[in-house]
Amino acid sequence: MAPHQRRVAVRVPQVERENAIATLIDLAPQGFEESDQGGDVELAVYTDSVGESRLRMAFGAVRSTPLEPGWEDAWRAFHRPVTAGGVWVGPPWLDTPAGLPVVVIDPGRAFGTGAHPTTRLCVELLADTESGSLLDVGCGSGVLSVVAARLGFSPITAVDVDPVAVEVTRANALLNGVRLTARVVDATAGELPVADVAVANVSLEIVENILVRTAAPVAVTSGYLEGECPAHDVWRCNATRILDGWAAHRFARL
């Protein structure tokens, strides 16, 4: 274990989650943990004293815990497999089950392992949506793109404003033997590729921006809390899923 390693955690309100994650990705591209804490979210990284200082400068108050021997295995234990939409999703160090479509996601340096409720909700809605071409906006680790491929969607285009996310998405696609196109695009300003279905697991504000700008006839969205719902005049919600205080919706263009 490297000397002076510690777990440094930041706690922010749920409404500040997306901004906090964007800041954290720049400061800790090696990856981070996320856990719900009532109305807050805790984001944690494993770093040294220099990394801790950077986090304190960015966030102010942080909680720093020295790491005991064997912390690497404890980090792995945080990433548990899930089954959603009939697909098993888990990290590469676990045994895969027989009889189910399997998606192996290495968390790497990008957000998205499949375990978060919003990811699971999107998978369930995609499994209940007629397959076709797919656009994954804010792809993170590429988990939704790879799962969509297992569900029969093709071709798949994944976009993210973060070059690291695009790199990790390509690596996870290769790991799973999935074909997709991944590239850097600012979904709030850049041109969005045309697809039959758009999926976006991001913040409510960005989802509403994407609904205005995408040409897809169907959209699956999440990344916001139960009781919240994106709104736009040309879309009709035809499915809603709720899990652990989070919400997801499927929209059809009017």
97 plus 38 within the same structural domain: no
User: Could you tell me if 197 and 134 are in contact, meaning their C-beta atoms sit under 8 angstroms apart?
Assistant: yes
Q: Return the H-helix or E-strand segment holding 195.
A: none
105 plus 228 within the same structural domain: yes
Q: What is the CATH number of the domain that holds 121?
A: 3.40.50.150
Which tokens belong to 117?
A: 């409720």
User: Which of 79-83, 104-108, 136-140 shows the lowest per-residue confidence on average (mean pLDDT)?
Assistant: 104-108
Three-state SS annotation for 52-112: HHHHHHHHCCCEEEECCCCHHHHHHHHCCCEEECCEEEECCCCCCCCCCCEEECCCCCCCC
23 plus 47 within the same structural domain: yes
Identify the pLDDT of residue 35. 81
What is the edge-to-edge ordering of all strands in the sheet holding 87-90? 82-84, 87-90, 102-104
pTM above 0.85, yes or no: no
Model confidence pLDDT, tens digit, residues 28-49: 755 677 888 878 889 888 888 8
Domain boundary among 29, 48, 76: 76
90 plus 151 within the same structural domain: yes
83 plus 72 within the same structural domain: no
Higher pLDDT, 65 or 123: 123
Q: What is the mean pLDDT of residues 118-139?
A: 95
Identify the pLDDT of residue 77. 64
The residue range of the domain holding 224 is 79-253
Identify the pLDDT of residue 91. 82
Higher pLDDT, 234 or 18: 234
Q: What is the mean pLDDT of residues 162-184?
A: 92
Domain boundary among 25, 41, 76: 76
Model confidence pLDDT, tens digit, residues 202-234: 889 999 999 999 999 999 999 988 999 998 889
pLDDT band at 111 (very low <50, low <70, confident <90, very high): low
Higher pLDDT, 23 or 248: 248
87 plus 202 within the same structural domain: yes
Q: Around 136, how many Cα atoms within 13 Å sit in the side-chain half-sphere?
A: 31
Identify the pLDDT of residue 190. 82
Q: Give the 3-state secondary structure percentages of the chain, helix then strand then coil, rounded to 5.
A: 30, 30, 40
pLDDT band at 71 (very low <50, low <70, confident <90, very high): low
66 plus 168 within the same structural domain: no
What total number of domains does the chain contain?
A: 2
Identify the pLDDT of residue 19. 84
- When the pLDDT of each residue in the chain is averaged and rounded to a whole number, the result is 87
Establish if 234 belongs to a structural domain: yes
Establish if 1 belongs to a structural domain: no
- 107 pLDDT above the threshold of 80: no
Q: What is the CATH number of the domain that holds 34?
A: 3.30.70
Report the percentage of the chain scoring pLDDT > 90: 48
72 plus 83 within the same structural domain: no
Q: What is the mean pLDDT of residues 155-176?
A: 92
108 plus 197 within the same structural domain: yes
- For the purposes of burial, counting CB atoms within 10 Å of the CB of 181, is it exposed (0-12), middle (13-18) or buried (19 or more)? middle
Establish if 64 belongs to a structural domain: yes
- 158 pLDDT above the threshold of 80: yes
pLDDT band at 110 (very low <50, low <70, confident <90, very high): very low
Domain boundary among 44, 76, 108: 76
85 plus 189 within the same structural domain: yes
90 plus 211 within the same structural domain: yes
